[in-house]
Amino acid sequence: MAEENWHQARLIPTSGISGAEEQERRATSALLAVMMAVREFGRSVTGQIGAPRGRIETFIEVPFMLGEQRLFPDGLIRISRGTTMWTALVEVKTSDNPLRADQLETYLDIAREQGFDALLTISNEIPPMPGMHPTQVDRRKLKKVALHHLSWSQIVAEAVMQKEHRGVADPDQAWILGELIRYLEHPRSGAMEFNDMGQSWVAIREAIAAGTLRESDRGLRDVVGRWDALLRFTALQLGRKIGQEVTQSLERREVGDPTLRSNVLVTEAVRSGTLSGGVRIPNSIGPIVITADLRANRVTCSVSIAAPDSGRSATRVRWLLRQLDAAPEVLRIEAHARHARGPGMAELLKDVRGNPEVLIADPTRELRSFNIALSAPMGQKRGVGRGSFISSVQETVNVFYAQVVQNLKAWRAAAPALRELPSESVEASPLASTALSSQDGPVESSDGQTEELPRFMTTDGLLWPPPSSAGPMSEGGTDEGTQSIARVSPAGGED
pLDDT tens by residue, 344-399: 889 999 999 999 888 888 888 889 999 999 999 999 998 888 889 999 999 999 99
Residue 432 pLDDT: 54
- Which residues pair with residue 121 across a beta bridge? 91, 149
Q: What pLDDT digit, counting tens, does each position of 195-239 carry?
A: 899 899 999 999 999 999 999 998 999 999 999 999 999 999 999
Name the nearest CA neighbour of 107 among 63, 151, 150, 68: 63
Q: What pLDDT digit, counting tens, does each position of 418-453 carry?
A: 877 666 555 555 555 555 565 655 555 555 555 555
Residue 2 pLDDT: 54
Q: What is the pTM of this model?
A: 0.76
Question: Rounded distance, CA 258 to CA 249, Å?
Answer: 13
Name the nearest CA neighbour of 201 among 410, 381, 418, 385: 381
CB 394 within 8 A of CB 234: yes
For residue 293, give Cα distances in angstroms to 42, 102, 482.
41, 39, 93
Segments making up each domain of the chain, as ranges? 10-189, 201-407, 429-495
Percent of the chain whose pLDDT exceeds 70: 84
How far does CA 221 lie from the centroid of its chain?
27
Does pLDDT of 153 surpass 60? yes
Higher pLDDT, 130 or 320: 320
Q: What is the DSSP letter of 357?
A: G
Does pLDDT of 494 surpass 60? no
Contacts of 425 (CB under 8 A, 6+ apart): 450
Count Cα atoms within 13 angstroms, Cβ side, for 357: 3
Cis peptide bond upstream of 465, omega within 30: yes
Higher pLDDT, 136 or 459: 136
pLDDT averaged over every residue in the chain: 85
Question: Rounded distance, CA 183 to CA 166, Å?
Answer: 20
Q: How many CB atoms lie within 10 A of CB 129?
A: 19
